[in-house]
Amino acid sequence: MNEHIAHSGAWGLALIVIVFVSWFLYCYLAPKSWKEWAGAGVVQAFIIALYAEMYGFPLTIYLLVRYFGIDQTNLNANLWSTLLGFGETGMMISMILGYLILFAGIGIFIEGWRELHRARQEHRLITDRLYGLVRHPQYTGLFIAIFGEGIVHWPTLFSIVLFPIIILIYVLLARSEEHKMLQEFGDEYRAYRLQVPGFIPHWGQWRNLLKMRSGSPTQGDLTPIDPAPAKVKGEQK
């Protein structure tokens, strides 16, 4: 394939972005167990593959042209622009939408870890604010951010394949973490788990989730979940 592909070949920029995003990732994920390292490793692979294609060589576009015979006129490193034929306008639209979703996810991700860190320091079960909407807001934020950057903004074959794998890994990791929480907090956590969804808020709660990503309180977000053991199914005689 000898056609010029716009927005490619900037390997120096690709390296800078990969290093910065990877540093940010490990600052917050801070993996300790092998399961956490496995999850972080897959996200790391996602980051490298994504930005190597975004700024370096657009492998996805090359494969589509080479083996699927897509139109080779006005090729763009952005998949949406190439497939839909919208050119620079399509790339700009996908970039704006992708970044909006990305930064919303990053906000939820950071705030979720901050709330969890404070709760660990105080040796208490956190059931309010973001944790009153979902049990794992840090992972919800991570999923949203990856979807915005790797699916909406700059989809590649690798990002599309790795996205569901990342979700599966962190869902399994969350189950392992919940097992530890049950051992530590017992019926209190069991009641909390029955009332609050794991990753996706109840219908109508997405607005509160997005508002609280910056750390500012909203109406009713400071009211903790009632962890009364009597509400746990099977506990009443």
pLDDT of residue 140: 95
d(Cα 61, Cα 154) in Å, to the nearest integer?
12
- Specify the DSSP class assigned to residue 229: G
pLDDT of residue 234: 41
pLDDT of residue 123: 86
Closest CA to 191 of 217, 220, 226, 158: 226
pLDDT of residue 64: 79
CATH architecture of the domain formed by 11-216:
Up-down Bundle (1.20)
pLDDT of residue 181: 92
pLDDT confidence bin for 7, thresholds 50/70/90:
low
- Other CB atoms closer than 10 Å to residue 223's CB: what's the count? 11
Place of tokens 């794992």: 136
Q: Which of 64-68, 99-103, 142-146, 204-208 has the lowest mean pLDDT?
A: 64-68
d(Cα 202, Cα 159) in Å, to the nearest integer?
27
pLDDT of residue 96: 93
- pLDDT per residue as tens digits for the range 192-227: 999 999 999 988 888 888 777 665 554 444 445 554
Q: Average pLDDT, whole number, for the chain?
A: 82
Domain range list for the chain: 11-216
Task: Tell me which of 75 and 3 has the higher pLDDT.
Answer: 75
Closest CA to 168 of 38, 51, 27: 38
Give, for 32, the enclosing helix (H) or strand (E). Answer: none
- Specify the DSSP class assigned to residue 53: I
pLDDT confidence bin for 88, thresholds 50/70/90:
confident
Q: Which residues, other chains included, contact 11 with Cβ-Cβ below 8 Å and sequence gap of 6+?
A: 55, 56
- pLDDT per residue as tens digits for the range 129-178: 899 999 999 999 999 999 999 999 999 889 999 999 999 999 999 999 99
Whether the CB-CB separation of 12 and 56 falls below 8 Å is answered with no
- pLDDT per residue as tens digits for the range 46-61: 999 999 988 888 888 7
